[in-house]
Amino acid sequence: MSSIVVIGGTSGLGKEVARFYAARGDEVVLTGRDAERAAAVAGEVGAARGLALDLSRPTEIKAALADVSAVDGLVLVGVARDRNSVAAYDIEGALYALTMKLVGYTATVHALQDRMHDDSAVVVFGGQAKERPYEGALSVATMNAGVTGMIRALATELAPVRFNALHPGVVGDSPYWSDKPLEAVVDRTPTGRTPTMADVVDAVDFLLRNRSVNGVDLAVDSGWVLR
């Protein structure tokens, strides 16, 4: 049995990751911004615990994770879907989104580093907006590209703990995308299908367990950026 921590595990892809490891019999701790919701989702998916943690308030992260014990796998999923542009730059929105992912993710690793061991592994979620920015994706593209530098720096500094980035494309059956028209996306995808949440969870598991994969960016987008 492994100890898995899922940061941002109360909805979407994070919830599916937590559900997968709990079903496998691992000890799973998941977090969300609201304590009651985190506890409720933990009960729903079979996780050991749900904790309140706000990535946009990085100075509070260490205390929020104080009771977490050994960490075999850490999955950083939580995200803010900021829509921003240079022409109408929302500084508050940008600060929230970039703090949440770039500073909040790093603060989480800082808080848990003494509970990791030589075989621990970390998966950091980015996204394919870094390769194909869409209208309003200024902050999202920036922070997802920043994930690449983050995992390389962390893999070097905290070796032999492994750090890898996972960059999903449009995940068609996820709560965010499932009710949106995706024909244009599918038409630009060589496989003729968008990735599923199960595909993304499988990629997370691969990155956590394969001991020779380190410091890489793994795209799970069905080849979407090729067209």
Q: Summarize pLDDT for 137-153 with one digit per residue, the tens.
A: 999 999 999 999 999 99
Q: What is the tens place of the pLDDT at every residue in 9-21?
A: 999 999 999 999 9
Q: Is the pLDDT of residue 201 over 90?
A: yes
Q: Are 222 and 193 in contact (CB under 8 A)?
A: yes
For residue 179, the model assigns a pLDDT of 78
Instruction: Give the integer Cα–Cα distance in Å for 141 and 152.
Output: 18
Q: Is the pLDDT of residue 177 over 80?
A: no
Instruction: Give the integer Cα–Cα distance in Å for 91 and 85.
Output: 10
For residue 143, the model assigns a pLDDT of 94
Q: Is the pLDDT of residue 120 over 90?
A: yes
Cα radius of gyration rounded to whole Å, the chain: 17
